Structure 1
Amino acid sequence: MNKDNCYQLGHIAKVHGLHGEVLLVLDVDYPEDYEGLGHVFVENGNRLVPFILEHMVPQPNSRFLAKFEEFNHIDQVKPMVGSALYLPSTALPKLKDDQYYFHELVDFMVVDEVLGELGQVKVIYDMETQDLIGMEYKGKEVLIPIKDGIIQKVDKAEKKVFCHLPEGLIDIYLED
């Protein structure tokens, strides 16, 4: 499976017990949508390797206790801790026209209501505290928080992200 055709679902947080179970952390808005999941792709170096799930039991806080088929000992799953989990992009639920997935914003033009067109989205940073748009502006990387009040509108047809950037945000990145 090619990573470009997938989205990151979450990661393997830690092993659980001695019999090959792991704790999965899903980075999704509705973890209950994934309760019946039968397989995932686990990142191994630059490759995505498919794994069949024997079971996946919901836990609090978007976590799942899971067991992969044919993995019955802690030593088999220990090397997988920290690995990212992926699913094909075709598995993403369809959204309404005014909704979007963060990964869709890559290559969109960022437009500030005062400064105008700034540059294209190069990367989305999925941080624990907040998600950020990474774009290049005048040769510098500028990070824009993805939150209401800053992101005003996303026009998927025009491939534009309309923003109201906090005063001075761009200047911080332009200083030497």
Structure 2
Amino acid sequence: MKKEDCFYLGKIVKKYSFKGELLAKLDTDEPDLYDNLDAIFLDLRGNLVPFFIEASQLHKSDLLRLKFEDVDTEADADALIKTELYLPLKLLPKLEGNKFYFHEVIGFVIEDKNYGTVGTLSGINDSTAQSLFEINKNGVEILIPMNDEFIVKVDRDNKTIIVETPEGLIDLYISPS
């Protein structure tokens, strides 16, 4: 399994018991969706390795308590702390309406209600306080905040996101030289 075929689910943060149980912090708004998994991929030195789950249960709402097969001691568990967890993309719940996963909208065309076609979504920058659409328009990068008030419609059928940005925002990037 390749990392690009998977999504990041979370990270193992600490041991739970002396029997090899671990606690994982999940990166999701709906942790209960991942309570009954049979297996999960762990990123071990850049390789995704499947681990089979003997038992799992939610712990304090956003932590998942995991007991893996063949992880039976504290030493076994210690070796897995800070390991990232991944699942295949096909296990992501389907989103509808204007909700979307970042990976699913890369390549969509961004259209502004007032400006017209802005360009193609080349990436999403989520390293800032507010996530940004990174749009390529003929080699020029345009950044638009991913603000719910700006997103009018996500049209999956036509691979288009319609936005309505404040007047002049797009012009900041495409000013005549």
- Report the TM-score when normalising by structure 1: 0.77
Assess if the C-alpha contact under 8 Å between 2:98 and 2:151 holds in 1: no
Q: Name stretches of at least 5 consecutive residues in structure 1 with no aligned partner.
A: none
**CA pair 45-168 structure 1, distance change in 2 beyond 3 A:** farther
- Report the TM-score when normalising by structure 2: 0.76
Q: Number of aligned pairs?
A: 175
Distance, in Å, in 2 between the alignment partners of 1:46 and 1:134 is: 27
Task: Tell whether 2:117 aligns with 1:117.
Answer: yes
**CA pair 50-160 structure 1, distance change in 2 beyond 3 A:** same
**CA pair 120-43 structure 1, distance change in 2 beyond 3 A:** farther
**CA pair 152-3 structure 1, distance change in 2 beyond 3 A:** same
Letter in 2 for 1:160: T
The Cα shift of 1:111 comes to 1.6
Q: In structure 1, what is the equivalent of residue 14 of structure 2?
A: 14
- Structure number with greater Rg is 2
Task: Tell whether 2:83 aligns with 1:83.
Answer: yes
Q: Name stretches of at least 5 consecutive residues in structure 2 with no aligned partner.
A: none
* SS of the residue 2:76 aligns to: helix
* SS of the residue 2:157 aligns to: coil
CA RMSD in angstroms comes to: 3.1
Q: Is 37-46 or 104-113 further displaced after alignment?
A: 37-46
Matches within 5 A, 1:91-130: 91-96=91-96, 100-126=100-126, 130=130
Assess if the C-alpha contact under 8 Å between 2:40 and 2:86 holds in 1: yes
Task: Tell whether 2:154 aligns with 1:154.
Answer: yes
Letter in 2 for 1:39: A
